[in-house]
Amino acid sequence: MKEATFTLRLTDEQYTEIKKYLDFLTIEMILFGLRFTYKRNTAIAGGFLAPGRKSIIKKETFLLSPKQARWRLDNWKSMIRSYRERGYSYPTISRIKKEVKKKSSKVHR
Kindly list the domain boundaries of the chain, sorted by start residue: 12-45, 53-105
pLDDT value of position 108:
54
Per-residue pLDDT of the chain (109 residues; tens, 9 = 90+): 899 898 999 999 999 999 999 999 999 999 999 999 998 888 777 766 666 667 788 888 888 999 999 999 999 999 999 999 988 889 889 999 999 999 998 765 5
pLDDT value of position 31:
95
Burial group, residue 85, by CB count within 10 angstroms (0-12, 13-18, 19+)? exposed
Ramachandran assignment for 87, one of left (phi > 0), alpha (psi -120 to 50 degrees), beta (any other): left
